[in-house]
């Protein structure tokens, strides 16, 4: 993989007649935060699934560095009826080998003060921050995130980015998909995905991206 942690080459995915990914190639280096920016339906989730090894492409190759531990935060998070934040984390830690301490995982996303709060009472942004804390419990070397800040307020968005920057500073490789250009600009590098094709950033005028 030449120092890269994620490598995708010539990937094609089709749903029936619909080409969802058309000859997509990209690499992500260790400790890099790489964002794929695209409108709804552009193929972002499909690309993350291929990168994470959860979807086999009909052509091309996708891989992560051998043996790299990975975790994902998907757009639809988990549901934990009746559990408090602390109970959710403790349950997850029980299933994880050598888990991060609870306080460290919750501190990274600013949720320490909500330990005794029932999961149901969290805002959408707080739930996503909890998803990120859970993803961190297994000390992943690669992290995939789908729409990590979609529609959240500034507090949740800032906590999520603070956690991602701190993970990357510790060598974690992050690949995320977003329809928000502000997320793309906070990443170390981003490309545009339009109708299943990956275009280098700069190939599309962002004003037009917003206006359409």
Ligand X SMILES: Nc1ncnc2c1ncn2[C@@H]1O[C@H](COP(=O)(O)OP(=O)(O)OP(=O)(O)O)[C@@H](O)[C@H]1O
Q: Where are the alpha helices (DSSP H) in 109-188?
A: 124-136, 154-169, 181-186
Q: How far is the CB of 177 from ligand X (least distance, A)?
A: 6
Residues 162-201 interacting with ligand X (rule: CB under 6 A): 179
The residue (of 54 and 121) whose beta carbon lies closer to ligand X is 54
Coil, strand or helix at 45: helix
Q: Is 20 in the site for ligand X (CB under 6 A)?
A: yes
Strands (E), 2-112: 4-15, 18-29, 33-37, 59-64, 70-73
Q: How far is the CB of 108 from ligand X (least distance, A)?
A: 26
The residue (of 38 and 99) whose beta carbon lies closer to ligand X is 38
Number of other residues whose CB lies within 10 A of the CB of residue 190: 20
Q: Is 36 in the site for ligand X (CB under 6 A)?
A: no
The residue (of 15 and 95) whose beta carbon lies closer to ligand X is 15
Q: How far is the CB of 180 from ligand X (least distance, A)?
A: 11
Distance CA 193, CA 46 (A): 11
Q: Is 121 in the site for ligand X (CB under 6 A)?
A: no
Largest CA distance in the chain: 49
Binding site for ligand X (CB under 6 A): 15, 18, 20, 38, 40-46, 179
């Amino acid at each position: 993989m030449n120092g890269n942690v994620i490598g995708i080459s010539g990937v094609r995915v089709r749903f029936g007649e619909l080409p969802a990914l058309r000859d997509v190639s990209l690499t992500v280096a260790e400790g890099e935060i790489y964002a794929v920016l695209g409108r709804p339906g552009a193929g972002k989730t499909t690309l993350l699934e291929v990168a994470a090894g959860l979807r086999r492409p009909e052509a091309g190759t996708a891989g992560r560095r051998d043996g790299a531990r990975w975790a994902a935060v998907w757009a639809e998070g988990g549901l934990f009826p009746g559990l408090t934040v602390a109970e959710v984390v403790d349950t997850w830690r029980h299933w994880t080998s050598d888990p991060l301490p609870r306080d460290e995982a919750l501190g990274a996303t600013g949720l320490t003060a909500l330990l005794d709060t029932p999961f149901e009472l969290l805002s959408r942004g707080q739930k996503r921050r909890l998803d990120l804390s859970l993803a961190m419990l297994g000390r992943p070397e690669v992290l995939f995130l789908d729409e990590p800040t979609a529609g959240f307020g500034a507090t949740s968005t800032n906590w999520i980015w603070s956690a991602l920057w701190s993970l990357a500073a510790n060598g974690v490789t992050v690949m995320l998909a977003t329809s928000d250009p502000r997320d793309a600009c906070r990443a170390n590098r981003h490309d545009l995905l339009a109708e299943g094709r990956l275009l280098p950033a700069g190939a599309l005028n962002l004003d037009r991206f917003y206006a359409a």
